[in-house]
Amino acid sequence: MALSEHEQRLLDEMERGFYQSEADVLQAGSSQPRRLNYRSLVLGIIVVVAGIGVLVAGVAVHLLWVGLIGFAVMLGGVILMLSRRSSDPLTVEDITSAGSGPKSPRSSRESLSERMERRWDQRMEGER
């Protein structure tokens, strides 16, 4: 069943809008996520536990400033735990291919729009 000219224009306009919004999203998300630094995680947990100890000690001896120092130490530990300083950042391909089999050389060269277009063509042809 063929589309009318009006429907075809609407479809083309929607497709252009989709590709434009896709480019905006890809540009906005340019900061790449990085791998978790286990050394920072373990050190941060140790610092948080020490901060809890100092906080409890400050409450036990009724000294406000010791409790505040314990809280600051705990906050520093959490910040240290969440810091991800690694020289080996993840790529988008690492995230999307996690748990999948070996990648074909064809899929590594295709952009998102090309893969989506290929999948759409396969669906329209009845392949899956």
pTM of the model: 0.42
Among 16-20, 31-35, 88-92, 122-126, the least confident range: 88-92
Which pLDDT score is estimated for 88? 45
Instruction: Give mean pLDDT, residues 32-48.
Output: 79
Q: How far apart are CA 110 and CA 128, in angstroms?
A: 19
- Greater confidence, 106 or 43? 43
Q: What is the pLDDT of residues 8-22, one digit of tens each?
A: 888 888 888 877 776
Query: Tokens standing for 61?
Result: 């001896």
Nearest by Cα to 66 from 53, 54, 52, 49 = 54
DSSP character string of the chain: -PPPHHHHHHHHHHHHHHHHHHHHHHHHT-SPPB---HHHHHHHHHHHHHHHHHHHHHHHTT-HHHHHHHHHHHHHHHHHHH----SSB--HHHHHTTT--PPPHHHHH--HHHHHHHHHHHHHHT--
Q: What is the pLDDT of residues 42-78, one digit of tens each?
A: 888 999 999 999 999 999 998 899 999 999 999 999 8
Which pLDDT score is estimated for 71? 92
Q: What is the pLDDT of residues 77-104, one digit of tens each?
A: 988 888 766 444 545 555 555 555 555 5
| CA distance readout (Å), 35 to 40, 41, 48, 88 | 12, 12, 21, 7
